[in-house]
Structure 1
Amino acid sequence: MKKKVQVIVKNNNFKKEHKGKVISVFRGYAFNYLIPNGIVSLATKNQIKHYQMFSEIAKKEKEANSIATGKIKTRVEQIPKITIYKKIGDNKLMFGSVKEKNIINWIYKYSNIKFEKKQIQINNIDNANISLVKIQIKQNIVVTVKLCIIPYNT
């Protein structure tokens, strides 16, 4: 009788092993603790093939996501500046301030890319000037675009 048995990890948090990895553990540990608690399952040919198939699908999805993110990043980098027109009064004060919604609408109108409010980082802008807007495409991918606010009178 073998002392160790081959098992497939079901959870990512077991001994820093990735889901679907085949490891060897002692029989007693496997049958008394790991399998009843749903942490691992016995490694059969079909189970191994099943987990490999899902890992390949996940890898392809991740690759497709990175390609799509790259395309969005290049399209946003091609924007030279964002120009927003704001009404000013007699004292040269702007009515309202520029918010994330204004920037999101401008980007959607001219480049057909939808962003969420939390992806746009701007300072409080309440006067006509030039400033920078940070657009967070993914967690570690940030693009900076120039924001020009042009005042107009009616």
Structure 2
Amino acid sequence: MKIILYKNVDNLGKKGKIVVVKPGYARNFLFPYGYAILASKNNIKIFKNTKKLEKKELKNKIRFYERIKYKLDKVKHIKIFAKSSKEGKLFGSVSIKNILECLNKNNIKVDKKNIRIEEGYIKKLGKYNIIFKFTKSITSKVCLEVLPK
């Protein structure tokens, strides 16, 4: 039975590949879990069209991420004011939510899954590096300075 793989399947193939498998394997495992569909002429045409659309969406996403990276490269430095003790220890911590609020004030909209704090948690006053990773090749680094209120 010829099938088109919708997802990568170990020991079988990668997404988009047309492979021949036994009918029972296809009916009982691949079709019910959404790993594959039957490779008819109509399904092959539909799959090729969806691949073209996915490529177009990926290009648009990359352009969007490059625009955000350009805005972040212009900013380069973010200041956040937080309540702290005399020794410089914060009451609480600076979280990704605080960073997002600061960026929204500068009209930069970033998803929280794209933000990485290099030093981990921010619990003291000082300077920290924030890494914005959109794709493997599109990353940006911004300096975050935590100041007393």
TM-score, with structure 2 as normaliser? 0.68
Distance change (3 Å), C-alpha of 1:84 and 1:61: same
Matches within 5 A, 1:106-145: 106-116=102-112, 119-121=115-117, 122-138=119-135, 141-145=138-142
Could you list the runs of 5+ residues in structure 2 that have no partner in the other structure?
none
Could you list the runs of 5+ residues in structure 1 that have no partner in the other structure?
none
Q: Which entry has the higher C-alpha Rg, 1 or 2?
A: 1
Question: Deviation per CA, 1:107-128, whole angstroms, max 9, x where unpaired?
Answer: 1111331432773425333433
Aligned length: 139
Matches within 5 A, 1:1-154: 7-12=2-7, 13=9, 15-19=12-16, 21-22=17-18, 25=20, 32-33=23-24, 36-37=27-28, 38=31, 39-44=36-41, 46-88=42-84, 91-96=86-91, 97-116=93-112, 119-121=115-117, 122-138=119-135, 141-152=138-149
The percent identity for this pair of structures is 19
Q: Which residue identity does 1:55 align to in structure 2?
A: K
* Alpha-carbon contact 1:9-1:17 (below 8 Å) kept: no
Distance change (3 Å), C-alpha of 1:63 and 1:129: same
Q: Which residue identity does 2:4 align to in structure 1?
A: V
TM-score, with structure 1 as normaliser? 0.67
Distance change (3 Å), C-alpha of 1:110 and 1:42: closer
Q: Which residue identity does 2:105 align to in structure 1?
A: K
Question: Deviation per CA, 1:29-52, whole angstroms, max 9, x where unpaired?
Answer: 66x4466444552433x3332222
Distance change (3 Å), C-alpha of 1:36 and 1:104: closer
